[in-house]
Structure formats: structure tokens, C-alpha cells
A and B are shown apart, each in its own frame.
Chain A
């Protein structure tokens, strides 16, 4: 266990405090609805962002503001391996995704491209659509300003912190390659 997320800040431009409006989703939000495959003929994040969440909430891109936070229940990001999914979410300004659990490929992809994820295994019923959250990436504290309730996210495993600390997998690997 690593002392929570103090290293995450380096990955995310030292942005410790995130604050944004909640876009609430339920379980099994899959990569097909996050970014439908019909838009995968390009890989430019800005282009992908135009269609983010289109098949689950067609109004999403019109509603989302920089810093907003996606909150979902279990198995967020299930389905395909497309890295375009976290890229689209990040490119439309979402500052982090909080869920009770994440699908494993999505989890790796998000860490690799620098989209912060927070896992909170208990019930997330205390957070509703439109609530304003304050998230401290250094401590994992998630504060619901609207409802005046606070919960604490699960810590990252130590190994993953090394990748996050290095600024993502590409920089981590570059460093490893230089050492050898």
C-alpha cells in the first residue's frame, strides 16, 4: 500500500484539487457507448471527443464542462480494448472518473494516457447527477459539496504508482530503456 495518491499529482500537471459537476452513470458503461466504433476511423483525441458518450447520452458533449467528473457504479469501460475511449473522455475535459470498479483494459489504458481514475468499492449512492464534487488526488478524498458528504477512494498498488510517477507508461519505459 502506498500513501494514497500523492504521486498522481506529478502525472496530472500537479493538479491536486479537482472540482466539477457530476455526470452520473450506472453499471457496465461499455466502450461502444463511450466512443462508438463508427467513429474509430480517426484517432485524433479532439475528433473522438465530439462523439464521447454519444450512444448512452447524446447530450453529453453539449453538457460537459472542463473539470467535470464522471461517476459510475461497477465495471466502467467494459468491452473493447480501444484506447480511444479514455482519450475521448479526457479530450472532452473530464477531470477524472470515479467508479466502484473498472474493466481491466480500460483501467490500464486510462493510467497509460493520463486520465485519473478513482476506485471506491462501496456504494456511490451518495453522489447524484449534477452534484458538485471536490476530489483531492493527493489523498483520495472525494467530497460531495452539494450533499456535504465525504468518502475516500482506494489507494493504487505500489507498482502502478511507479508508472504514474514516471509520467505514464511511455516515459516509464523510456527511463527503463535508458538504464539498460
Chain B
């Protein structure tokens, strides 16, 4: 009786069975890095004395963190990565064709269910939404994976989270994951896999699943897993480059698989959630957060920058105005999301409402560029972290929420619940 994670790790380490806490050498299907982590990875790769990556089709680099380049130093880092990508003939998406890595890779068909993916970015766990075992690592680990196609892992225990009931209006994947992290804490799933299940998850659209898997790391988890179901199959039909040659097999944990914990939630009555500074577990229902005055609202990023998220925001912003004391930045997760939003008229809605629409970048989420906060400023953001100084000055504050609360708050100039704008 195995969990989905154990099945995937066994299949990738040529073993019939793997046991929790066992150390295994795992073959990887994709290795990712970005303009912040790749320069260190490339340096370590060179130290290995290997001339070529193990498989150029299975290595990908994305210039998304400080790109378009924010200053000369970041331009140098991006250049170093670009030159390595060209030299090695690996997958590389240039500015103008790229997206934030965790939106881009699934959308461009680089992620398949039951794959193993490692990335030098902690939010690599996003791909668990497609039933892949994906986890973040540092640059040195990724250098070794690029060179050998393998990486060591300790087989993690799995905690199962079952969500029951029916989601209230304006409550989505972001609220579910914030609610969960608020319950278990930022190390509540340390070293473990979070497996998301239950009838609420069965009904949850893919965009909401990506949001949940994305923030598994915020509970300390190694991965956030979803079973491979019809929704994933449908997503793969639209996005996979290999769909016709590699059919999507439905797969999940065995019924009697061993979990380290099973946590059940009835979510029929939960409200949209807001995480207060300075830790993602500091969550409150929006009714207890209303009234906090804001200077900036950010909607988008790798957590909530997909088309479904922008559609929710547009429902609120259509025909309304961003509050005069507040800056609202819309951050589509990729050029494709941007173009789709443009075709649907969402971008026009945002601009008419008085929002700035940004090219895809991680910039503002990590206080890099394109929306950095001054001392004393408060931002409500649909991104994933609100640590001290995360979005700029160590004296600024970041509140986390989903796109419905963010858009409603942008209109009100303070944290607002969605019902205050759409009755």
C-alpha cells in the first residue's frame, strides 16, 4: 500500500518499493533554475568538471526574478545564465516570451503527472498540482542534478489533508491553503508531503490547485501533491507537448496507504482568509481583518497570476475604480496569461480601473523591483510570503490573500471582504 509520492519515487529509483525515511537516488525528469539561483548553480556545475548537462531537453532556465533586468548587477547575472543556456542548448525562455517559472512550466507542457522535478526555487512544489513530485533545492543540488540527472532524496512521510463540504462564494484555493497553514503552522508539514484530497479538492479548478501546491513550502513541506484525475487529464490535453505520445494515467495513493497524519476540514463555512504580518501562518478570516488601511495591492505572481485569478479580480474591478490613495499592480504570471487576459478584455478592465499592468516578473513579490514598499507602507498581496522586508523596507507590512479579497481591497483602499463590493 503506497502513497502517490512513494510510487513516483520508487519508479524513479528503479525500486519496487521505497520506505519512509529511506535515502534513495532519484532520476529527475526536469531541472529548473532562475536568474538568482542559476549563476551559483553554473559555478558549481563547472567545478564538477562536466562539460555537458545530462540531457539538454530536461534542463530549463527562466530569467524571471530580477528580469527585465533591474540594474547592472542583475543584468550580469542574467547574461551569465543566458550564455550558459545557449552553450548547453537547454530550454530557455527569453524576456518577452517568458513567464514566472511556476506559471510557465506547466502552461508550456514541461510538467507531466508522475514526473520528478527539482528546481532551485522553493516554489517548485507548485507542480504537485499536476501530480508530479516536485521540490525546491539549492543551487549546488541543482548543479549536480544538471550534471548527472540524479539527486539524492530522503523518502518523506505524507500528511493527508481532506477538505469536505462545499466552498462558499469567493473562497478559493488561496483561502484553503492559508487556512491550512494557519492551522498547522509554518513548520506544520516540515520534511513531509502534503497530499490534498476530499470532495472540495475534486471540484477545485486547476488554478486553485496550483495556488495550494505553490504554498506547501510555506508549511515547511517537501511537496504538495494532488492525485491525477480528470481535471489534470483535461489540463494536459490543452498544455502538454507530449500528450499524444504519453497518455495521462489516472493515479493516486492506495486506499490503505500509510499517512503520518490525516487532517480533515469542513470548509463549508470558512471565510476568505488574510495572513497578517510577518508570517504566512498568522491568518484571520477577512471579517476580522477589515479596515486595515493599505498603500498597495498586488494581484498576480506565481501563486495567483493565472487566468482564473485575473478573471476573479476583473469581476470586482469591472466598471469600478481603484481607491485614490492606493496603487494596484496586476502581475500576469506569463506572456500567455497576459495575452489571454488581453483577448478577454480583462487588461482593459484593469487599466480603466486605474491599475498598473506589469510584464511577468517575480520582482515585487521579493522586494526586487516593480513595486517595492517604503517604510511604514502596507501592501495586500496575492503572493506567498509576508516575512519582514519581503517586499521592500523591513519597516513595511505585507498581508496575503486571494484575488477576490485583493481586488475588493484595492477598490476600498483598505482590507475589505468581497461582499462589500459585490453584494
A interface residues, Cβ below 8 angstroms from B: 27-28, 30, 32-33, 36-38, 40-43, 54-56, 74-75, 78-84, 101, 103-105, 108-109, 112-113, 157, 159, 163, 168-170, 173-174, 176-177
**Does B88 belong to the interface (CB within 8 Å)?**
no
When distances are taken between beta carbons in the complex, the residues of chain A under 8 Å from B222 are 104
**Does B310 belong to the interface (CB within 8 Å)?**
no
Identify which of B9-17, B144-152, B235-243, B406-414 touches chain A.
B144-152
Total A-B Cβ pairs within 8 A: 139
Q: A28-B186, A169-B144, A177-B50 are in contact. Are A81 and B220 (CB under 8 A)?
A: no
Number of chain B residues whose Cβ lies closer than 8 Å to a Cβ of chain A: 53
The distance from the CB of B288 to the nearest CB of chain A, in whole angstroms, is: 22
**Does B70 belong to the interface (CB within 8 Å)?**
yes
Asked if A43 and B279 sit within 8 Å, CB to CB, the answer is no
Closest A residue to B363 by CB, please name it. A37
- Besides the contacts A28-B187, A112-B138, A163-B152, what 14 more A-B pairs have beta carbons closer than 8 Å? A28-B186, A30-B385, A32-B385, A33-B387, A37-B390, A41-B74, A42-B73, A43-B40, A55-B389, A78-B186, A105-B137, A108-B141, A109-B137, A159-B23
The distance from the CB of B43 to the nearest CB of chain A, in whole angstroms, is: 8
B interface residues, Cβ below 8 angstroms from A: 23, 36-37, 39-40, 43-44, 47-50, 65-66, 70-71, 73-74, 77, 119-122, 124, 136-141, 143-144, 147-148, 152, 154, 186-187, 190-191, 220, 222, 279, 366-368, 372, 385, 387-390, 392, 394
When distances are taken between beta carbons in the complex, the residues of chain A under 8 Å from B23 are 157, 159
Q: A81-B136, A112-B138 are in contact. Are A103 and B368 (CB under 8 A)?
A: no
Q: How far is the CA of A101 from the CA of B188 in the complex (A)?
A: 12
Asked if A79 and B387 sit within 8 Å, CB to CB, the answer is yes
Asked if A83 and B139 sit within 8 Å, CB to CB, the answer is yes
Q: How far is the CA of A133 from the CA of B358 in the complex (A)?
A: 50
Q: How far is the CA of A37 from the CA of B383 in the complex (A)?
A: 15
Closest B residue to A45 by CB, please name it. B40
Closest A residue to B395 by CB, please name it. A55
Closest A residue to B192 by CB, please name it. A104
Closest B residue to A178 by CB, please name it. B49
Q: How far is the CA of A103 from the CA of B141 in the complex (A)?
A: 16
Asked if B48 and A105 sit within 8 Å, CB to CB, the answer is no
The distance from the CB of A107 to the nearest CB of chain B, in whole angstroms, is: 9
The distance from the CB of A101 to the nearest CB of chain B, in whole angstroms, is: 6
Q: List 6 A-B contacts (CB under 8 A).
A: A32-B388, A36-B389, A81-B124, A109-B137, A109-B139, A170-B44
